[in-house]
Amino acid sequence: MKKTIFTGAGVAIVTPFTADNKVNFPILGDLIDYQIENGTDAIVICGTSGEGATLTNDEHVETIRFAVEHTAGRIPVIAGTGSNDTDYAVQLSNEAEKCGADALLMVTPYYNKTSQEGLIRHYEYINDRVSTPIILYNVPSRTGMNIQPATYLELSKMKNVVGTKEASGNISAIAQVAALCGDNLSIYSGNDDEITAIMSLGGKGVISVLSNVAPKIAHDIPTLYLEGKCKESCELQLKYLDLCNDLFIDVNPIPAKEALAMMGWDVGDVRLPLAAMPAAKREKLRATLVRHGLIKE
């Protein structure tokens, strides 16, 4: 059985920016404290929600370093270091290791993509050049690349590959992965609307966008399930299903940042090519936040 990095909810935390589009480290520190104070079980930094794709290399490394130092061992810090350039993924991963990251979140190659054999070779190359646990990240809607169950089995045999963030939305395939890999691979939901479904297949938790705005709820849904309170977990999942969905009413992390701004957080704008939500979507999101008591009318 391999090491489990965390159980419960890891927040796919946004990266706040200043008015001149620089990383706003003081606000990031406040966000990390807010998450920890409200039960979040891990900080996932520089992932999709953290706009890692538009951070410069220096910003990426400094943001990881800051998150590790500010979190100060209170909960694990998982650094997004995946790339469609295998050598760059190794370089960034090694930098994250020097910063003290507890694990690496490693998205599949995107745009150039690859075959299933190429996926195995890509991750094998990285696995052999790092000493930190790797959580795979399967999100075909963004990458055009899907990890097949048989490929997961091969990846799970690698010493550093300990888990996966599964955002394929294919519950049948995830069931096959769980059956094939067993305790060699911790499965985390990559979709907030599927937490209880994946927990029922032996999942360990979620890497969550929802946690940005409702950290206690994101924590409680998987934690209740792990405690054997399956009915209560499911009830909470369904109660907040509208919020889970509305946080994807536009391209992530646009709605999450909009929601945080409505809640009073100075997280700044998203970086191009992402753009602010249209007014109609913003009002729909606002109404959902009001309905759940996260903001006042």
Residue 151 and residue 190: Cα distance in Å, rounded? 18
Query: Closest by alpha carbon to 79, among 58, 54, 104, 98?
Result: 104
- The 3-state DSSP composition of the chain as helix, strand, coil percent (nearest 5) reads 50, 15, 40
Nearest to 44 by CA among 88, 87, 19, 14: 14
Catalytic residue selected from 137, 188, 225, 240: 137
Catalytic residue among 123, 152, 165, 225: 165
Q: Which two tokens stand for residue 292?
A: 């759940």
Helix axes 149-156, 116-127, angle to 10 degrees: 20
User: DSSP string covering 174-195, please?
Assistant: HHHHHHHHGGG-EEEESSGGGH
Q: Residue 113 catalytic? A: no
Q: Taking Cα atoms as reference points, which of 264, 290, 271, 276 lies closest to residue 30?
A: 264
In order of 26, 47, 141, 155, the CA distances from 169 in angstroms are 35, 18, 9, 20
* Token code pair at residue 262: 């409505």
Let me know: does 46 contact 13? Beta carbons within 8 Å: no
Question: Do the beta carbons of residue 14 and residue 210 sit within 8 Å?
Answer: no
- Annotated active-site residue 137? The verdict is yes
Catalytic residues, which ones?
A: 137, 165
